[in-house]
């Protein structure tokens, strides 16, 4: 918890209302967990997928 407090204190969230800080941290953690989940799924199912790049 101390790490989160230090990050908030040293960021632009310092001085913002608590609900704004909570919403910002929630959105960040949601996006981060979604990206990690997508990366894991790509590692697990990637060799079996047919991925095409281009038009």
Cβ neighbour number for residue 8 with a 10 Å cutoff: 16
Crossing angle of helices 2-9 and 18-45, in 10° steps, is 110
Integer Cα distance of 55 and 50 in angstroms = 15
C-alpha dihedral, 38 to 39 to 45 to 50, nearest 10°: 90
Mean pLDDT for the stretch of residues 1-21: 82
Residues 13 and 21 sit within 8 Å (Cβ to Cβ)? yes
pTM to 2 decimal places = 0.68
Q: CA–CA separation, 35 vs 31, rounded Å?
A: 6
For residue range 24-36, list pLDDT tens digits in order.
889 999 999 999 9
């Amino acid at each position: 918890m101390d790490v989160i407090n230090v990050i908030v204190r040293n960021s632009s969230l310092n001085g913002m209302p608590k609900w704004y800080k909570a919403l910002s941290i929630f959105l960040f953690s949601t996006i981060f967990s979604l990206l990690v989940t997508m990366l894991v799924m790509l590692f697990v199912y990637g060799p079996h997928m047919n991925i095409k790049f281009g038009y």
